[in-house]
Amino acid sequence: MQVTIVGFWHAFPEAGEAASGYLLEENGFQLLLDCGSGVISQLQHYTELSGIDAVLLSHYHQDHVGDFGAFQYYRLLEPVLWPEKQHQTAVYAHREDEEGFQRLFYKEAVQPTEYRAEEPFTAGPFTITPTAVKHAVPCFGFRIETAGGSLFFTADTSYLPELEQAAAHVDVLIAESSFYAGQDGSFAGHMNSEEAAALAKRAEAGKLILTHLPHFGDHTQLKREAESIFSGPVELAAGGLKINIS
Ligand SMILES: [Zn+2]
Ligand SMILES: [Zn+2]
């Protein structure tokens, strides 16, 4: 599987960038994980919108779904303007917030499907297991596996010991690091760099990608802080960063 980081910012995208969004590709199947503000614009640097086979959403904060409205409009226009490209896009989301789930429906163009905690499902070549995380609103992390590799995406969460098992032995852990070492983000349902690294260490992940990065401080400090705890490779999320998992 190949992962392309489309966006990684906490809360809102900085100029020319995007909030949470990750393009996962395997055997030509394209899965968009989260669709935060700025994602639909940035995504087109890496693929055509018509190529997206599935969208998977962690929760209904705008930095994770803010551009889903743009995607709905694309889906509405596609059969009119580019009928030759028309195809189905599956959308997977939770119903712990019914209002948020209902907002995903859009005429005939978008019909979401519910996922539930700890009930694995498949989207093309991906097997996805949602795990409830600890955030200000209902939110899910995902273990995503293919025949060739595995990753865990924490979405937005404060430190939750259960994630050590959910993410056990993944090749790549994409973990949110909204705060620096010593700062307590749990009041808002977020982790800091030390907690992200502790999760990677206890889960024995192969590699740690720090994401959902804050709008303050020097991000290279987050990397140094994480490296002081987790002995495996650590990288900072960046727009366009590609990670091969095999
Ligand atoms: Zn959130
Ligand atoms: Zn967020």
Cα distance between residue 196 and residue 11, in whole Å: 18
C-alpha 28 to ligand 1 mean position (Å): 30
Specify the range with the lowest mean pLDDT, choosing from 47-56, 80-89, 232-241: 80-89
Mean pLDDT on 231-238: 98
CA of 139 to the centre of ligand 1 (A): 7
Question: Which DSSP helix (H) or strand (E) runs through 23?
Answer: strand 21-26
> What is the model's pLDDT at position 189?
98
The CATH number covering residue 61 comes to 3.60.15.10
User: For residue 63, how far is its CA from the centre of ligand 2 (angstroms)?
Assistant: 5
Q: Mean pLDDT over all residues of the chain?
A: 97
Reported confidence tier of residue 86, pLDDT bands at 50, 70, 90: confident
pLDDT at 145: 98
Residue-level pLDDT at 108: 87
Number of structural domains in the chain = 1
Structural domain that includes position 163: 2-244
Confidence of residue 90 (pLDDT cuts 50, 70, 90): very high
User: What pLDDT score was predicted for residue 203?
Assistant: 98
**Cα 34 to averaged position of ligand 2 atoms, centre (Å):** 10
DSSP 111-159: -EEE--TT--EEETTEEEEEEE--SSS--EEEEEEETTEEEEE--S---
Q: What confidence score (pLDDT) does residue 38 get?
A: 98
Tell how far the Cα of 56 is from the centroid of ligand 1, in angstroms.
15
